Structure 1
Amino acid sequence: MEKFSEETNKLIDLALQEDIRDGDVTSLYFVPADQTSSAYIYAKADGVLAGVDVALEVFRRVDGEIKIKAVKNDGDSLKYGDHVLEIEGGSRSILTAERTALNFLQRLSGIATNTSKYVALTEGTKAQILDTRKTTPGWRQLEKRAVVAGGGTNHRMGLYDRAMVKDNHIVAQNKIEAMQEAIHQLKKDRPNVEVELEADNLTQVEDFLRMEGVDYILLDNMDNDQMIRAVEMRGKSGPRLEASGGVNLTTVQGIAQTGVDFISVGALTHSAVALDLSLEFAG
């Protein structure tokens, strides 16, 4: 499959294997082999949809003869009762694929829904809501796609695509001069990799603004007044500023109004509640 990465393909196969193994014994023994049905997946709560293509693929891998139609797409808003997918085919196959398809849809739609709440609270500001690496192991690509479906923006995918120098790295490096030398070497060796430095206070912000090759400064656990000051210190040009720490649905609006460019929120993924979706047979 070209539409999915190798990691996602493996994840779908693993999810089906762990559920089915050597057969769905309930369907095999209690549902006639020649029985066909129509079914649909629908929303039992308001939210934002994500994971449609993965759910479609689950049904297809269980039975290539199943006919399935996506009524809604990733990023669409859902109201209670809205149909998401409509399915026709062997009753056994529909029942066998049901839980795995729903697991993907519910988890990813929960992330999209959670993200959309944060995004709504930043309307009218320049701040973009970012995800983090606080994802379910093996699910990162899908969960980050769900963040985008909810209106958010992806931060780095992993340790390999952005240098993010945090307080522990700074302590280990010890000197600004050594950090500057390391940045120059990284930019020489890997010119496409951006550099982000974590600042715990405004003195560090001031130091980092004087350095070369810094693309982002992360304002870690600063209060709103400190972030306003950091934005003033940066001026109209320079590294983009990312707020992190203490971000929740109560605080995010005030943080966005400080003028920062980005707000990273680990809760988008690590604390998302699955959206309530269900499969019902028609008729």
Structure 2
Amino acid sequence: MKRDYAKVVPDAAMEDDCRQLVRLAVREDLERSIDWTTACLIANDQRGACQVVPRQTGICAGLVTVDWILDETEADLKAEPLARDGDTLHAGQPILRLEGSARDLLTCERLILNVLCKLCGVASLTGRYVQEIAGTSAALYDTRKTTPGWRRLEKYAVGCGGGRNHRTGLFDGFLIKDNHLALAGEAAKGLSPRAATELARQWAEGRTEMTAAPEIVEIEVDCLEQLAEVLPAGPDIVLLDNFTLEQLRSAVQLRDQQAPTVELEASGNVTIDTIREIAATGVERISSGALTHQAVWVDLGLDWQQQP
């Protein structure tokens, strides 16, 4: 069975990230004061209800965070999801209902919308990329080009859009790049790609004192000569950096001949216009930072409902 990086799911780590972001967002909005406009105009005992409604199509992501947000802000509100993360968004079809203190609704609305708009945007862009490579053997992966503090949430949204998660951080996989090779070795004289791969494989398989090292070994190469050199060292994945389409096809052929169990990952110059051609070369993986750093927020609105 081929190894892959862990999928980001709603767990304790993701919840903790969300709560830390909520605390920062509350400080941005309220500092150590109050919502003066709401306190001035809205009675303390007034109740209210509203729905979060998409103004455009897309893919839903982030509903799992709403209860964490309400709990962390101590809002007197009840959330009723009307959709699930991963569902298609339809303009005018509500995805969430909130009911409770009118004051808390007004104070929390922007925070809730900001989180949902951002994560739905990541999921929606990912979904467009995934559609482009449908029917090919390639899978789409995200990268570490994420908003600081938002990584798990953004990677979760990639999963909602049908993409897969590359390593979450530096802690859960070896990914050897040019800078590692240049600075490694005795007296920083550098290591060859093959030597670096062999050393990482020893760590990954527990053949050193570092028995808790992650299992996956991936190395980045920038030419076919480097690919031929590292394949015998047994990496799990070889990242083909900025290869042309012709080079990608040659890389797949070389891999099939020398080490058919090694997966190839194309990265660099991946856009919505080029990804289909890249997938057609036969690589198993395509990674793109665009899924997170170029995603545009989905337009979600908050529509008030009349209380009975």
Question: Fold conserved (TM > 0.5)?
Answer: yes
Structure 2 residue 203 is the aligned partner of structure 1 residue 182: no
Alpha-carbon separation, structure 1, partners of 2:214 and 2:71: 38
Aligned length: 282
Q: 1:150, 1:77 → 2: CA distance?
A: 9
What is residue 216 of structure 2 aligned with on the other side?
A: 194
Equivalent position to 2:236, from 189, 201, 215: 215
CA distance in 2: counterparts of 1:152 and 1:88, whole angstroms: 33
Superposed CA RMSD in Å reads: 1.8
1:180 offset after TM fit, Å? 4.5
CA distance in 2, matches of 1:220, 1:57: 39
> Which among 230, 247, 250 is matched to residue 226 of structure 1?
247
**Aligned with 2:233: secondary structure?**
coil
For normalisation by structure 1, the TM-score amounts to 0.94
1:242 counterpart (261, 265, 278): 265
> What percentage of residue pairs aligned between the two structures are identical?
39
Which of 50, 62, 65 is 2:61 aligned to?
A: 50
Query: 1:82 corresponds to which residue?
Result: 93
Long gaps (5+) in structure 1: none
* Structure 2 residue aligned with 1:14: 24
> What TM-score do the two structures reach when normalised by structure 2?
0.86
Q: CA deviation at 1:274?
A: 0.6
Question: Structure 2 CA distance, aligned partners of 1:151 and 1:277?
Answer: 21
Q: Deviations over 1:183-219 (max 9, x none)?
A: 244222245331111111111111111213x110001
Matched, 1:133 2:144: yes
- On the 8 A contact 1:38/1:282 being kept in 2, the answer is yes
Which of 275, 278, 289 in structure 2 is aligned with 1:255? 278
**Partner AA of 1:245 in structure 2:** G
* Number of the residue aligned with 1:267: 290
Quote the offset at 1:26 in angstroms. Answer: 1.0
CA distance in structure 2 between the aligned counterparts of 1:169 and 1:185, rounded to whole angstroms:
17
Q: For residues 40 and 211 of structure 1, do their structure 2 counterparts lie closer, same or farther at Cα, with a shift above 3 Å needed?
A: same
CA contact (8 A) 2:66 2:79 kept: no
By how many angstroms is 1:62 displaced?
Answer: 3.5
Map 1:160-171 onto structure 2 (within 5 A): 160-171=171-182
